[in-house]
Amino acid sequence: MPSTHPAATASQPPATKRGRPGYDQQSVLRIAVDVFNRHGYEATSMGILAENLGISKSAIYHHVPSKEELLRLALEEALGGLEEVLTLDGATSGAAQARLEFVLRGTMAVLVQRLPFVTLLLRLRGNTEMERQALSRRRTFDKTIAGLVSDAQMDGSVRSDIDPGTITRLLFGTINSIVEWYKPGGALTAKKLADDVISLTFEGLRR
C-alpha cells in the first residue's frame, strides 16, 4: 500500500534519533504511547508527557518537534508492521487458505511485538487528518484480508455461505480484542496464542 512515510518492519525498527541524555527518540516514543493509551491522545498535553518522562517540556523538543509527530511515529510503527506482512512471500504466493493463515499469524505477531502501538491505532476516532489517514490505511489492509477470504472461498477451502466482509470483521474482531487482555511474557506464549486463534478460526470456517 502506498505511504508517504517509510514502513517500520518488525525486524527493523525506525532509526533512533539521539537527543537529551537519558533518552533517545525511540524511548520517548514508547513512553508517550503508553501515556496516550492511558489518558487518550487528545487529553494528553506536552506537560503530561514531560511529567511522565521526568524532563521539561522544552527537553521533549530535542527529540520530536510536536505531539503530532509522536502520534505519526507511533502509527507508523503499527501500520508499517501490518503492511509489511502483506508484502512477504507467504502472503503473496501459495494456496489461498495458506496465504490467509500466514497473514493472520503475521498480524498477530505484529500485534504482540508492537502491542502499545497497535492498541493506539485501534483506539483512533478519526478526529484529526493524521488519524483519518491512518484509518484509511487500516481499511485498505482490511480489504486485502477480505480479498484473501474471497479467494479461499472460491477455491473451496473456506465456506462460501458467509459474506467475506463479515468473515473479515469477525476475524479482526477476535484478533483486535487481544490488545485488551493479552499480557506478553505470561504463560500464554505468542506462538500458542496464534495457534489457538488459527485453530479456532479455521475449524469454524473450513468445510
Q: Is the pLDDT of residue 16 over 80?
A: no
pLDDT, the chain, mean: 88
B/e letters for 38-55, b = 16+ CB within 10 Å, e = fewer, are eeebeebebebbeeebeb
- Locate CATH 1.10.357.10 in the chain: 71-205
* Phi, psi angle pair for 18, to nearest 5°: -80, 145
| Residue range 25-65, CATH number | 1.10.10.60
Distance CA 114, CA 136 (A): 20
For the chain, where are the alpha helices, taking DSSP H only? 25-39, 46-53, 57-60, 67-85, 89-92, 96-113, 115-122, 129-154, 164-176, 178-181, 190-205
Report CA Rg, the chain.
19
Distance CA 103, CA 168 (A): 12
pLDDT score of 24: 84
| Residue range 71-205, CATH number | 1.10.357.10
pLDDT score of 205: 56
**Mean pLDDT of all residues in 5-32:** 60
pLDDT score of 129: 93
User: Would you state the cell numbers that stand for residue 179, as one nine-digit string?
Assistant: 490488545
- Locate CATH 1.10.10.60 in the chain: 25-65
* Phi, psi angle pair for 124, to nearest 5°: -65, 145
**Considering only CA atoms, which of 96, 101, 67 is closest in space to residue 85?**
101
**Mean pLDDT of all residues in 133-139:** 96
**Mean pLDDT of all residues in 20-42:** 87
In this predicted model, what pLDDT tens digit does every residue of 91-130 receive, in sequence order? 999 999 999 999 999 999 999 999 999 999 999 999 999 9
pLDDT score of 206: 52
Distance CA 138, CA 16 (A): 25
The pTM assigned to this predicted structure is 0.83
Instruction: Using DSSP, state whether 18 is helix, strand or coil.
Output: strand
Q: Is the pLDDT of residue 191 over 50?
A: yes
pLDDT score of 5: 41
Distance CA 75, CA 59 (A): 23
Task: Decide if 169 contacts 118 (C-beta within 8 A).
Answer: no
Q: Is the pLDDT of residue 1 over 60?
A: no
pLDDT score of 188: 93
pLDDT score of 23: 78
Q: Is the pLDDT of residue 11 over 70?
A: no
pLDDT score of 111: 96
Q: CA 108, 123, 19, 12: dihedral to nearest 10 degrees?
A: 20
Q: Is the pLDDT of residue 14 over 80?
A: no
pLDDT score of 22: 65
In this predicted model, what pLDDT tens digit does every residue of 165-181 receive, in sequence order? 999 999 999 999 999 99
